[in-house]
Chain A
């Protein structure tokens, strides 16, 4: 085994002059730094007043995140070569918390908005951004390397009403939950843009600052149709059905804020009764949505459509039992 390794090592050593193994991330970083800009504007509240952006066209269109730094007549943009521009905010996406800027420039190096679908957990990713305003003027933005951790729905705690996006984001183990990183680039080892580093948020699932990026596909969807995203349609929860869904379960209400969803009573003849839900069952999930509290259950039932087939997962004694039922209807 060792001999084989040495032999193989000798074989590949001949190629060493072509590129150094230590240069594993250099190409990606060179690509990214030329296409990432520093942005400055007013600070406000929890917003730092500075951030990062990525150039997506030769004529100076720049993607970044929504932030108070844009709440100005003209946020200032500094390119990798040190040139400074005033930028115009030409579109805002309140759902994805992205913004599209424009500077008057030509022949800029820029990213193509491609795909992140090829990323798998364990793939190297490189971040390029200006956390803590470390880079000044023509100085290169900060870069860091880590791996893509996986995709998960965003569960932002901070001001969730302002950040209603709950689609998948790219989680990384690069520390990018730092002031100023948002709007920067996440690239793969080939230098392809795979995501826009996201706004600083904590996760309701882990209570940690999230290191994540908005997938490049989401950014592309915004850029392709920038005006459509400015209305609030996407920001509001989908409208509730006019007919109230009915399952026929009454929960055990003992007070306190963390009430597990124990079944107190099942109405005779109701969908729940037909499915075999029993008193003292603990509801674990409905339609794949986990239920920790009575409130979770009520919230989910509101969104069910009469006639919809759903699976309930209940705990009965030491058993976890799946039950299928068809949602009934009741006039509101």
Chain B
């Protein structure tokens, strides 16, 4: 065993240690010479890519709509935000041995007439687009093949910000996937769906795997903007060091419906929510938006922590009997003390799924069941005047949904 391979062993051991507990030795206490360290890291990165490579497929599309034209021109001085669907191949990850391939829905933005998938071994298949998850920017393809190699997976709970992360994809049209290396930047992004990474995520690897140095797939790279629902949102952040991958945990939640061929939309309850107040109002202090009770009324029972229904109650929420002023304390029996908890729980579901909503109202809690709706389901609703469109963006989304805008 030469020194380099021993170093790799040490590096891997550190990775394992760091995953399990915090007793990893500080790096500086065990500094090998720089050259050895670089050499060992490079071997580890190569090995990680080799482990994942058999599961990374090249996707090519033929036909479909015209490329989306960039609104801004290509300017040599500035990196413009415009986006144009490229002509090159894209990337997917074999998810099931019987031909299920996961990728990003952005790769099919043009609704191509024909999709083909080329495997690691060179075999090329015609693929069927089985389903998309428009909110998570995922797509599921199927090819008629068996005994395909599937990756090992790593769940987000085993990841720590700061650990190595790698991404690979076919987008550059090379004869093998191109690689980018960085770290896990943050977890639980985009309502808990995504892992954030400083790996260079771009059309070169959208749909490809984000993986760790042991070659375990942690997620599928997608364009993503935590504050915008548009399917193309986040593309302008390509190669910026702000990249996202939908976690394998989130994919596992959505996979059964995707495998059944159901296109998934973001699920909405039909309410506007105000986050838990930053400072609790002391009893007796007058507050314009307090309960409508008068001074003689009994002292109001303190509400439990949780987002409060403030907008028009529509759609699924109205059908389930939710009311203005309700405090949402649990979704699917998981406590939701903060608005972000609510958003993450709702994001686990999609339009068409049922959720159990537990609300606190007048000192008592009750649990109702609601079937989440898609944004389009609200289109015909009579109240959907401009002011009432607020609830659509309220429930599960955007940090930008201004809590201050309050009722209505």
Interface-centre pick from A21, A200, A317, A319 (highest chain B CB count, 10 A):
A21
- Contact across chains for B30 and A47 when beta carbons are under 8 A apart: no
Contact pick for A206, options B16, B61, B114, B202, CB 8 Å? B202
- Contact across chains for B45 and A206 when beta carbons are under 8 A apart: no
**1/0 per residue B160-189: CB within 8 Å of A?**
000000101001111011111110000000
- Contact across chains for A122 and B33 when beta carbons are under 8 A apart: no
- Contact across chains for A19 and B34 when beta carbons are under 8 A apart: yes
**1/0 per residue A8-35: CB within 8 Å of B?**
1110110110111111111100000000
B255 CB, min distance to chain A CBs, angstroms: 23
State whether the Cβ of A150 lies closer than 8 Å to any Cβ in chain B: yes
State whether the Cβ of A46 lies closer than 8 Å to any Cβ in chain B: yes
- Contact across chains for B38 and A124 when beta carbons are under 8 A apart: yes
Contacts known (A122-B45, A157-B74); A5 close to B10, Cβ less than 8 A: yes
Please, which residue of chain A has its CB at the minimum distance from the CB of B61? A292
- Contact across chains for B13 and A1 when beta carbons are under 8 A apart: yes
Determine the distance from Cα of A278 to Cα of B62 in the docked complex, in whole angstroms. 19
- Contact across chains for A260 and B76 when beta carbons are under 8 A apart: no
CB < 8 Å A-B pair total = 223
Chain B residues closer than 8 Å to A13, beta-carbon distance: 29-31
Task: State which residues 35-69 of A face B: CB under 8 Å.
Answer: 45-48
State whether the Cβ of A207 lies closer than 8 Å to any Cβ in chain B: yes
Stretch at the interface among A105-113, A171-179, A239-247: A171-179
State whether the Cβ of B402 lies closer than 8 Å to any Cβ in chain A: no
Chain A residues closer than 8 Å to B28, beta-carbon distance: 16, 20-22
State whether the Cβ of A264 lies closer than 8 Å to any Cβ in chain B: no
- Contact across chains for A147 and B179 when beta carbons are under 8 A apart: yes
Determine the distance from Cα of A144 to Cα of B367 in the docked complex, in whole angstroms. 55
State whether the Cβ of B365 lies closer than 8 Å to any Cβ in chain A: no
- Contact across chains for A149 and B238 when beta carbons are under 8 A apart: no
Please, which residue of chain B has its CB at the minimum distance from the CB of A9? B30
State whether the Cβ of A83 lies closer than 8 Å to any Cβ in chain B: no
B124 CB, min distance to chain A CBs, angstroms: 5
Contacts known (A146-B181, A189-B35); A175 close to B88, Cβ less than 8 A: no
Chain A residues closer than 8 Å to B177, beta-carbon distance: 121, 150
State whether the Cβ of A331 lies closer than 8 Å to any Cβ in chain B: no
**1/0 per residue B51-86: CB within 8 Å of A?**
000000000111111100010001111010001111
A56 CB, min distance to chain B CBs, angstroms: 25
Task: State which residues 219-275 of A face B: CB under 8 Å.
Answer: 257-260
Determine the distance from Cα of A186 to Cα of B65 in the docked complex, in whole angstroms. 39
Chain A residues closer than 8 Å to B62, beta-carbon distance: 260, 282, 284, 291-292
- Contact across chains for B30 and A16 when beta carbons are under 8 A apart: yes
Chain B residues closer than 8 Å to A123, beta-carbon distance: 42, 45-46
Chain B: residues with Cβ within 8 Å of the partner, total of: 75
Chain A: residues with Cβ within 8 Å of the partner, total of: 74
Task: State which residues 101-138 of B face A: CB under 8 Å.
Answer: 113-114, 116, 124-126
A252 CB, min distance to chain B CBs, angstroms: 12
Interface-centre pick from A24, A27, A151, A153 (highest chain B CB count, 10 A):
A24
Chain B residues closer than 8 Å to A292, beta-carbon distance: 60-63, 87
State whether the Cβ of B153 lies closer than 8 Å to any Cβ in chain A: no
- Contact across chains for B178 and A171 when beta carbons are under 8 A apart: yes
State whether the Cβ of A299 lies closer than 8 Å to any Cβ in chain B: no
State whether the Cβ of A202 lies closer than 8 Å to any Cβ in chain B: yes
Chain B residues closer than 8 Å to A204, beta-carbon distance: 86-88
- Contact across chains for B114 and A5 when beta carbons are under 8 A apart: no
- Contact across chains for A206 and B88 when beta carbons are under 8 A apart: yes
State whether the Cβ of A320 lies closer than 8 Å to any Cβ in chain B: yes
Chain B residues closer than 8 Å to A189, beta-carbon distance: 34-35, 38
Task: State which residues 189-242 of B face A: CB under 8 Å.
Answer: 199-200, 202-204, 238-239, 241
Contact pick for B34, options A24, A179, A209, A290, CB 8 Å? A24
State whether the Cβ of A117 lies closer than 8 Å to any Cβ in chain B: no
Contacts known (A12-B10, A122-B179, A149-B178); A208 close to B204, Cβ less than 8 A: yes
- Contact across chains for A149 and B114 when beta carbons are under 8 A apart: no
- Contact across chains for B114 and A208 when beta carbons are under 8 A apart: no
- Contact across chains for A173 and B180 when beta carbons are under 8 A apart: yes
State whether the Cβ of A77 lies closer than 8 Å to any Cβ in chain B: no
Please, which residue of chain A has its CB at the minimum distance from the CB of B65? A258
Please, which residue of chain B has its CB at the minimum distance from the CB of A200? B76
Chain A residues closer than 8 Å to B30, beta-carbon distance: 8-10, 12-13, 16, 21
Chain A residues closer than 8 Å to B48, beta-carbon distance: 122
Determine the distance from Cα of A290 to Cα of B174 in the docked complex, in whole angstroms. 13
**1/0 per residue A302-332: CB within 8 Å of B?**
0000000000010101111000000000000
- Contact across chains for B172 and A206 when beta carbons are under 8 A apart: yes
B272 CB, min distance to chain A CBs, angstroms: 38
- Contact across chains for A207 and B203 when beta carbons are under 8 A apart: yes
- Contact across chains for A147 and B45 when beta carbons are under 8 A apart: yes
B145 CB, min distance to chain A CBs, angstroms: 11
Contact pick for B25, options A6, A121, A211, A319, CB 8 Å? A6
Chain B residues closer than 8 Å to A16, beta-carbon distance: 28-32
Contacts known (A46-B77, A124-B38); A205 close to B33, Cβ less than 8 A: no
Chain A residues closer than 8 Å to B200, beta-carbon distance: 146, 173, 175, 211
- Contact across chains for B76 and A124 when beta carbons are under 8 A apart: no
Chain A residues closer than 8 Å to B38, beta-carbon distance: 24-25, 124, 189
A163 CB, min distance to chain B CBs, angstroms: 13
State whether the Cβ of B339 lies closer than 8 Å to any Cβ in chain A: no
State whether the Cβ of A134 lies closer than 8 Å to any Cβ in chain B: no
A271 CB, min distance to chain B CBs, angstroms: 22
**1/0 per residue B15-30: CB within 8 Å of A?**
0110000010101111
Chain B residues closer than 8 Å to A15, beta-carbon distance: 31-33
Determine the distance from Cα of A123 to Cα of B113 in the docked complex, in whole angstroms. 39
Contact pick for B32, options A21, A155, A291, CB 8 Å? A21
- Contact across chains for B49 and A202 when beta carbons are under 8 A apart: no
Contact pick for A120, options B46, B88, B241, CB 8 Å? B46
In the complex, given contacts A13-B29, A320-B116, what are 7 additional A-B residue pairs having Cβ atoms less than 8 angstroms apart? A5-B9, A9-B10, A204-B86, A208-B239, A209-B239, A284-B62, A284-B116
Contact sample, A vs B, 28 pairs, CB 8 Å cutoff: A1-B16, A2-B16, A5-B9, A9-B25, A9-B29, A16-B32, A24-B38, A26-B34, A27-B34, A121-B176, A122-B179, A146-B200, A147-B179, A152-B172, A152-B173, A152-B174, A153-B174, A179-B76, A205-B173, A206-B203, A207-B70, A209-B239, A284-B62, A284-B124, A290-B89, A292-B60, A292-B62, A315-B114
In the A-B complex, the 6 residue pairs with the smallest Cβ-Cβ separation, listed nearest first, are: A205-B88, A122-B45, A46-B76, A5-B13, A21-B31, A9-B30
